[in-house]
Amino acid sequence: MVIEIERKFLVKNDSWRSMAVGTLYKQGYIHTGKERTVRIRIIGNDGYLTIKGPRVSNSRIEFEYPIPVEDAENILFNLCERPWIEKIRYKVKMSGLIWEIDEFDNENKGLIVAEVELSHEKQTIVFPEWIGQEVSSDPRYSNRNLIRYPFSHW
């Protein structure tokens, strides 16, 4: 079991792009309840099954397991809620942290958010100049909510 501690922010400009290479992510949700989320992801040619517990502040338990990409595709196409999340994820290392910038596509096109995983809740963060408003506690920005209430419908 891993405790995931992350914070999420809007991205206010494109100055990060020159520092990053992106990877296509496709993900769908089998279950999106308040107490747990079960997600399937395809990252490039790899598949993953992820189970997350309820969020408490900026933390939650998370289990993630690699699965055959063929299984991930089958689950995504046959068992997951629609629409799926499609995004390009970019990673930028700055000040000892790895920022993951998600540029969404399809019904969430135009939304760009940055997440940073922390080792503890009170960890000090040096914010890059391209980081905007924090949206960690705004449920609209969670991937599981973006399938039900896409950004293009706000």
Active-site positions read 29
**Side-chain half-sphere CA neighbours of 28 within 13 A:** 16
Residue 146, classified by CB atoms within 10 Å of its CB into exposed (0-12), middle (13-18) or buried (19+), is buried
Please check whether residue 61 is in contact with residue 52, taking contact to mean a CB–CB distance below 8 angstroms.
yes
CA–CA separation, 109 and 35 (whole Å): 28
Instruction: Give the HSE-up count for residue 93: Cα atoms under 13 Å, Cβ half-sphere.
Output: 1
How many Å is the maximal CA-CA distance in the chain?
A: 42
CB 8 within 8 A of CB 127: no
